[in-house]
Structure formats: C-alpha cells, structure tokens
Chain A
C-alpha cells in the first residue's frame, strides 16, 4: 500500500472507459452529421446540366457550342466532387468537439467528469460510507423536486434546466441507490434471510423507481431492478432469481402460445419431475412440487390479465413486435426494423465513418441516444460492433473480478451495483437495437449522447477506481 495512487489505478478499466467515450464521440458526431452546403450546390449544378440537355438548338453551330458547354459542366461537376471529397476528409478533431454539436457536449461532459473524478480518487471510502444515505436522500429529493420544478421533454418530466444546462436527476439517483444499497447490505445487522432486511433493501430500490415511473420514464425505472443482483451476491437465495427467470419465460411463452398448451405442459413436466425425483430421493415432499405447479398455472392464467390490463397499449405493441406477433415494419416495428437494416447492412467491415446511408438519412429515430448501436453497426460493421461488445465484456468482468478481491464488503457491493447497472443498460440497449428486446428507451453507457448519463457513469467509474486502488485498505 506504499505505492503511489497512480500505480494502484486499474488501467484496464481506464483504457476501456477512454476508448468507449472516444468511440461514443465519433458515433454521436456521425449520427448527427448533416450533409454540408457544397453538396446541395452539387445538386443544383446537376440540375442545370440536365436542363442543358434540353436546350433547343436552332442552328448547327449553336449545337456544337452546347456540346462544348455540356463537357464543361461535366468538368465542373467532377471538380465539385473532388472539392467535396477534400471537404469530407478534413473533418478534424476540432469539428468533433465543436461546442454546438452533440459530440462537443459529450466531450465537455467527459472533461467535467475527469475533473470531478480526479478529486474523487482522493476521497476515503469511509467518507462515502458515512454519506451514503445522505446522497441517496438528496437524490430522492431531486426526484421529488421534479414534480415542482421539472421541465418536460417528450412528455416526461425528467429534467432540470439550470442556465441552459439540462440535468436528468434519475441518472444521478442511480448512484444514490447504489450507495444506499451498498451501505445497507454491508451493515452488521443486515441479514437477507430475515424478511425485515430484505424489505428494507427492496424499499431502497422501489422509492426512486416509483418516483421515476411517475415522471413517467418507465425505461429508466426498470434499470433499478438490476440492483437486485447485489442481493444475490450478498446471500439472497438463488431460488428467487430462478423463479424470476422462470416467470419471464412463462410470461413470454404464454404470449406466444395459447395458455392451454402452457398449462398442460406445466402439469406434464411437474409429473415427470415428481416421478423421477421420488424414485431417487424418497424424503422429498410431493406437495412442494404441486405448490410450484399450481402457482405457475395461476401465473400463466394471470398473464393475459397483466398484459391486457396493467400494460399500456404501447408496451403491448413493443412486446408484439419483438415476439413477431405483429409484423409491421412501417408503423410499430419501424424503429427496430430500420435499426436492424442499419446494422445488417454494415457487413463485416462497415460502410465507414460518415458513410452510413441509414445514419445519414436519419432512418433510425433517436439514433444518437437509444439507437446509437445501429450507427456503430452500420459504419463500423461486425468488426466495430463486436469490438464494442468485447470492450464492455472486459470492462464488466474486470470490475467484478476486482470486486472479489475487495477486503471491504461495502466497496464490493458498490462495484457489484455499478457493474449490474452497466450490464443492464448494455443488455437492454444493444438487445433492443438488435431486435432481441422490446423497445425500452435507455442509453448505452459512455456511447450514447446524454450528459447526465455520461456524468453518472463516469463518476461510477472513478469511484470504482478509488475503491479498487484501496481494495486492501480496511478503512
């Protein structure tokens, strides 16, 4: 522990972080890049050229002249194209971080994060641990404050605007929730086998998510569910995880097939399991299986009710599109279809920077945020998108690996929390762009445009760097 901080930093994560932010910068620039003026001029010249073709030629010497003119216009077009080309080639770093562009804003937030992050590196863990609930409380207050001072964008009241800078507190609430949960789960008197501790943890997650649902921004709220993953690290029975996964499978298969078949297959599978298990382990009670069976059947029966009554129509549409129940590439399924076209047309090596036709044509809505991955897929191809996925894989598994080396449970919980958040964003965002997950509008960490999001995840990374650098310290 005598080594200076610089040598204790996790440079693997730093490298992943920096490359993701820079790659994000490029892709935001590309997906918001508009055709420049000289190209419009090009079009007009072409028009003239076409018109020239039709000029009436009363006399033959005039005709020769017009042929010459045609040749000249062709030369002009050719020249113009060359100019355009040069114009495109000199897209510099300066343009990339132009303050008025989204990529420029991304860069500024990145700089701000580094400044904050630098200070964070020197803060002691105890300081965070002590302030965990306070941070959580402040973030909850910020969420409540939205109902009074918030600004609506796209019919969701999720933003504060201060001096022209918009801030999305739900992003910062994610850090607050991770802090509070880490603190709660690392307390001496917390025992997840006791219902009280469990309920307290659930409430810590539910409060911010309910407040966010009310904005309404259900996409961001769903992310908080990922924090339950910390519970399992801390000893919550995997039974719950298995039951939830089983529930999701049941839910989807009920939507896909008639529930009669589902109920019959549940019954059959239960009987088969009982038959074999009973043979080997005579002690096991048959009744438990029946309880599972009956509750599954009740769940299946209620799926249609949940789907039709609790879900809103747009949510139902999203499920219908992703499950292929509804085939509608023009309306409901437009976004996902265009995203798939963009990614699929990228091929192995992609169309190249600023060359994505889907991207240039704005065929994918919200491409700089929710569908940023389609730009990656189109312009950088399989190599680019696979590379991006691998960087995320390295980042997440590296953090989790390092977390296991922690001497302090609070810090380990925190790292688990932020890893779960990054993983869930990653899964939902890319899964959606690939047409595997129903539309849920959340950004891809470090890549998508969106200041609050980048700031929140950058701070998480810096806190991780702090915690990891001090992983052997007991304070």
Chain B
C-alpha cells in the first residue's frame, strides 16, 4: 500500500512546505517590499525654479543664475597631482586635501561637494581641464542673482541647509538650498515651490535603465511663486545712496496701505557677495564687523530713544485725555522747574508763551513736560496714569512687535506702572520722576519702523495698516491680509497736531526740508545717546532724527529717518527725508545743492574718533 502512495505523499509535503514559505515571504513579511524599492528605485528630485522677486513697479530684483558644484566620488578617483588641482580650483594643497579626506570620511561611494557654487566663468575654465581628474565632476545648480546692489538687509540670501534645518523640516535633503533671513526666509515656502520626484528604475549596477513604471508615480514639482514687493526700487536705491558714509536708516511707508516703500539700513553690503563660492568667507567678514555691523538691520532692529518726535504722541494723548486743548498755553523761561530743584532746559527764550501748535514747531520741552505731568496725574494715581498713557501708545504699535513680514525685529519699550514700581518701590515715584518720557528720552525705546508707523498713523488721522513688504504674488494666493489698526485717539485731535507738524517745516526747526509745492508735515529729533566705551558709559554726539509725511492732505508717504551721531535733526535727517519725499512724489530732485550735500557728506570722521582711543568732543 505505502509503495503506491509514498511519492505522492512526498509531493504533498514539499508543496505544503513551499506554500508555507510563500505565505511567510509574500503575505506576512513586509520587509521585502521595502528592500526591493530600496534596491531598484531611484528617487530623483525635480526642483522648481525658485521664485523671482520684483519691486512694486514690477522691476526685477532677484532671479536665478546657474552655478556649479564640483563633486567628487572618492572611490572613483585615481592618483592625481593635488597641487595642480589646487591651482585649478584656487585652493591650497592643504585645503584641498582636507576637503578630500572629509569627503572620503563621509562616504567613499556617495558624491560630496569639494567646491560649491562656482560661477559660470570659472566653470568653463575648470571644465576644460577636469577630464584629467577621474572621479571629479561638475554639477549644475541654480543660485540667486541680484540685479541691483540694494536691499541686502531685507532681501536676505539662500544657502545650503544644515543639519538643524533638516531635523526641523524633513522636506529638506542635504545639499538643498534654504532662505536665510529677510524675504528669502520669511517667504521660503512659497518662493521655493514644492519639489517633485522622478522615480527611475535602477539595475543591479545602480545605473538608471528607465523611468519606473512609466513615471505614473512621478510627482510634478509645484511651481514656485514669484513675489512682488512693496519696495520701490528707485526710492530704495536713492535712499541707500544718500546714506553713503553714514550710519542709520530710513523707513518709508505708504500710509494708506501700510506698504513699505523703502527700508534703508546703512552700512549695508552688496547682496551678490553672499552668492557663489566666496559666500561663507564673505559672510564671516560681515558677521565679524562689530563696528559697522552690516548684518544689523537698523530700520528693524535698532532701538533708540525716539526723542522729540515723541512729543507729538504726548500731545495727541493730552488732547484725547482732555488735559490740554489746542489753546492751552504754557510759558517757558528757557526751561522750567518740574520739581523742587529740578530744572529741565529748553531752547525757548525766557518769557516765551507757547500754545500747542507753536510748542510743536518750537519743540518746547516745558510745554510737553507739563502736558505729560497732567496726563499722568489725570487718573486717581500715577500708576493708573502711566498705564493709560501706555495703552494709548500701544495702539500706535509701540512697545511690541509690529507683526510685519520679516523674520527679525525688536519690540521697543514703553514702561508701565509695574516697571516703575519695581524700579522705585511701590508709589515711590510720581510724574516728575519719569518726566523724561515727555520728550522721548527716558525709558522709552522705539525702532525706526515703529516711528515710521506712528507717523503713518498720524498721516491717516487715527489708524495704521500693519507695515509689510509683500504686495502681490503671481498666483494670487498666499497673501496675508494686513489689518487696519485704529489708534485710541479720536481723529479730530489730529488736526492741531498735524498743523503743528506742518509748521515745523514751514517755519520751525526743519525749514531746510521745505519743498515748493509739497506740504510736508514733520518733526525733528535730536536724541541723546550713550555707549559703553572702555567699560565707561560715554555720551556720544546726538542722533539726528526726523519723522515726516507728505503731502499734508491725502498723504502718500510717511517716513522716519535717523542718522547716528548726526547731531541736530535738521542737519542730516530732515534733508534726507525731504529729498526722499521729493524723489518719491516728484520723481526727480530739483534741489541739487541739498542732494549733493547729502550724497557727499560723511560722518566717517565722527565715527572713527570714538574708537581712536583719544578723548573727543561731542555735538560739534
């Protein structure tokens, strides 16, 4: 019996064994699917071209150009003359060997970058001789091209991702580029688009033999978005040229829309130096310059005492709180005693009587000290007075981040009762204690963009739109709506203040800023400032400040200009602001004498004397 069936039983046993094995391999174990994909599928990313950046008049600011990375696969190299290759690449023998050993250490089989972002011109030269060196090849990639030598501070730059970026966002793979600062960073997501993937079928030698399943799994890249900025290229260029040999900046805003027309920070640098193989060297140089700090955006990050321009805010608060009106008068005798034995100087002549308007255009300290005292004392306690004062200022966007679309910024500072209670003990202070705030000196700190913004709010008679850089995108999406913020001041109160500001230019401190045919409203500032020099608090020459908007009716531009250590507001800041307004509104500047004075004027000697080590005089 068994002889008839043993072979059939055998067959069944074998088939059963195979079936179990098949179930195990194909149905239970899922590792093999992954292994086979690993084996046979090459994922090759397709990068969409990075979005372009235009100015408000659709003039191109940033586009792309080809660059080349010199790659090496250490395994494939032959013996070669590293001195010769070093010469070709403009590297020393040691530098080259260091990079090669690093590449080898990373992987013998995977390509590593030896030299990144070689320019097209250099590329041709290297390409010609590269065939001598097996294992080296040039890989094309897209790098940024800046068409104008302006706006480095807000445009930002792109560079290869580091480990941190990759850990933070798994979208990025080593060697890819990411926006670093400025617009490039803030709008990274839409500027880069979304990379696609081509799947290729590999064979066992790891070479591509065709597309994988005819590309049905391929993902097309999502096109990048082109951005149009609110910046006016010509105005920005002009502003930067006016700041040659000076430190400081300009923030210009269109009040009606909150669009930033120009953001000048000086000294700056040519954005093109952060493209190409010299980027990291150049960056180190910029970052290492602790004296002129070119990477520091003074328009957004510098916190100064606002100085006299702050007086107009106190005037507005005084009017709103009802402690003064347009006709309120205070007499000034070259200053006044704001407390027993405490005298605040003023440049008004003895016996001057100022009403609100004349106080603004004369910039009378006494008037605003009195107003401020009244504001603080209008409530049941000084604490409540200060807090209500702060609330008014907050509604102008002061003392907090403004919320514009750039990654950097500073909140400034507006003190409140908590702050003073901590500083002076509870109820250990009164209005005279903090009287400096009345003229924008004391504890108050603002950034230039905050000043430009409150100027815009005054120009709008009571509201501002959060300042921003983005105007539109080519695909009409991704635009954040920047909202209208109303100040806590009723619009009727702006009329006398604006009248005062108009007179500042017409017959006040900033007569130099007058332009025929344009009604400019402004306010000068001369801001005391101190730094630590050799461990000692040292007073430096005052900062020259000016805020302005124009024209008076239906304003088109509001701006804040500050020139570090420029002394009187009318000496530097007011003329620069006036030239900017003329340039923006009239498109050309007629006052060549003033323009030349500003273009050629230099404060280098002023700055250098602080660091010369010798004793120096200020406010000359």
Contacts and interface: CB of A to CB of B under 8 A. Distances in A.
Interface of A: 34-36, 39-40, 42-43, 46, 49-51, 53-57, 59-60, 63, 67, 70, 74, 77, 81, 84-85, 88, 229, 232-233, 235, 238, 338, 340-348, 355, 357-358, 360-363, 377-378, 381-382, 385-386, 389-390, 392-393, 396-397, 400-401, 404, 416, 419-420, 423, 426-427, 430-431, 434-436
A286 B552 CA distance: 125
Interface hub of A53, A340, A423, A431 (most chain B Cβ within 10 A): A53
Contacts of A355: 213
Nearest to B120: A56
B7 A416 contact: yes
Contact of A343 (B11, B25, B141, B142): B25
B214 A341 contact: no
Given A343-B26, A423-B11, A43 B204 contact: no
Interface in B477-494: none
Contacts of B176: none
A422 to B, nearest CB: 10
B208 interface: yes
A386 B40 contact: no
Interface hub of B21, B46, B65, B120 (most chain A Cβ within 10 A): B21
B287 interface: no
A426 B47 CA distance: 50
B125 interface: no
B610 interface: no
Given A39-B210, A51-B140, A361 B204 contact: yes
B15 A360 contact: no
Interface string B1-39: 011101110111011011101110111010111011101
A74 B46 CA distance: 12
Given A229-B7, A343-B25, A54 B203 contact: no
A238 B10 CA distance: 14
Contacts of A81: 211, 214-216
Contact of B64 (A46, A54, A363, A427): A54
Interface in B170-228: 198, 200-204, 208-216, 220, 223
Contact of A361 (B6, B19, B203, B216): B203
B54 interface: yes
A363 B203 contact: yes
B32 A56 contact: no
30 contacts: A42-B210, A42-B211, A51-B140, A54-B65, A56-B64, A56-B120, A59-B60, A60-B60, A67-B223, A229-B7, A338-B204, A340-B25, A341-B35, A343-B25, A344-B25, A344-B36, A355-B213, A357-B36, A360-B201, A362-B203, A377-B22, A377-B25, A381-B26, A382-B27, A386-B19, A389-B15, A404-B4, A423-B14, A426-B14, A427-B14
Contacts of B14: 423, 426-427, 431
B201 A361 contact: yes
B25 A434 contact: yes
A347 B39 contact: no
Nearest to B13: A427
Query: Which secondary structure dominates where chain A touches chain B?
Result: helix
Nearest to B35: A341
A347 B32 CA distance: 9
Given A343-B26, A401-B8, A39 B39 contact: no
Interface hub of B25, B49, B66, B202 (most chain A Cβ within 10 A): B25
Contact of A60 (B41, B46, B54): B54
Contacts of B52: 57, 60, 63
A232 B4 CA distance: 10
Given A53-B64, A56-B63, A357-B41, 12 more contacts: A39-B211, A53-B47, A233-B7, A340-B32, A344-B32, A345-B36, A348-B26, A382-B22, A389-B22, A423-B11, A431-B14, A434-B22
Given A49-B46, A357-B212, A358-B40, A233 B18 contact: no
Interface hub of A34, A46, A49, A88 (most chain B Cβ within 10 A): A46
A419 B7 contact: yes
Interface hub of B17, B26, B120, B145 (most chain A Cβ within 10 A): B26
B48 interface: yes
A346 B26 contact: yes
A333 to B, nearest CB: 13
Contact-residue size bin, chain B (C-beta under 8 Å from the other chain): 35 or more
Contacts of A416: 7
A40 B36 CA distance: 22
Contact of A347 (B15, B26, B40): B26
B3 A232 contact: yes
Given A46-B198, A53-B142, A238 B215 contact: no
Interface hub of B11, B18, B64, B209 (most chain A Cβ within 10 A): B18
Contacts of A436: 17-18, 21
Contacts of B142: 53-54
B132 interface: no
Nearest to B11: A396
B58 interface: yes
A309 to B, nearest CB: 31
Contacts of B202: 361
The 3 closest A-B pairs by CB, nearest first: A344-B32, A35-B210, A345-B36
Contacts of A434: 18, 21-22, 25
Nearest to B60: A60
A416 B7 CA distance: 9
Interface in B52-101: 52, 54, 58-60, 63-66
Interface string B538-549: 000000000000
A463 to B, nearest CB: 18
A81 B23 CA distance: 35
Nearest to B6: A232
B214 to A, nearest CB: 5
A430 B11 CA distance: 13
A26 to B, nearest CB: 18
A363 B204 contact: yes
Nearest to A348: B27
A358 B66 contact: no
A35 B7 contact: no
B10 A423 contact: yes
B225 to A, nearest CB: 12
B130 to A, nearest CB: 19
A57 B63 contact: yes
B340 to A, nearest CB: 68
Contact of A358 (B12, B39, B59): B39
B201 to A, nearest CB: 5
Given A46-B198, A345-B33, A357-B36, A57 B64 contact: yes
B12 A393 contact: yes
Contacts of B39: 338, 341, 357-358, 361, 363
A230 B305 CA distance: 107
A344 B29 contact: yes
A342 to B, nearest CB: 7
A343 B220 contact: no
Interface string B152-181: 000000000000000000000000000000
Contacts of B203: 360-363
Given A53-B49, A63-B60, A423-B7, A360 B40 contact: yes
Nearest to A37: B210
A382 B26 contact: yes
Nearest to A396: B11
Contact of B209 (A35, A60, A435): A35
B51 to A, nearest CB: 11
A84 B54 CA distance: 41
Contacts of A42: 210-211, 215
Contacts of A344: 25-26, 29, 31-33, 35-36
Nearest to B198: A46
Contacts of B21: 434-436
Contact of B32 (A85, A232, A345): A345
A54 B11 contact: no
Contacts of B223: 67, 70
